[in-house]
Amino acid sequence: MAHTFDDLVEKQRDADQAQGEVERLRGEYGPPTARQWNERQTEVYEQAWRDWHGLAADVQGAITKYAKDEGQARNDVEADVKKAARHPELASA
């Protein structure tokens, strides 16, 4: 499926939001290495982690395809997507 640049930005925002949820859970539950979590906490954290990594993989694949289709350097596209997703006020600069 072809993606527009705006699609990539939305995918990046979704991945960033999922990463934020993982970080929030780590703050709430403590570090995963402590393993003092109950079964429910472990399930919630592991699902959040899988969600984040799935979304991150999706956006990375979409960026690769977009860059190839557009004849652009992949790292430039990724940087532009992250800038637009995380700092929209700077994206047009």
pLDDT of 30: 87
User: How open is the CA angle 13-18-21, to the nearest 5 degrees?
Assistant: 130
Predicted model pTM: 0.88
Other C-beta atoms within 10 Å of 43: how many?
A: 11
Tell me: pLDDT of 6 over 70.
Answer: yes
Q: Exposure of 90 by Cβ count < 10 A (0-12 exposed, 13-18 middle, 19+ buried)? A: exposed
pLDDT of 33: 72
Rg, C-alpha atoms of the chain? 16
Distance CA 93, CA 80 (A): 11
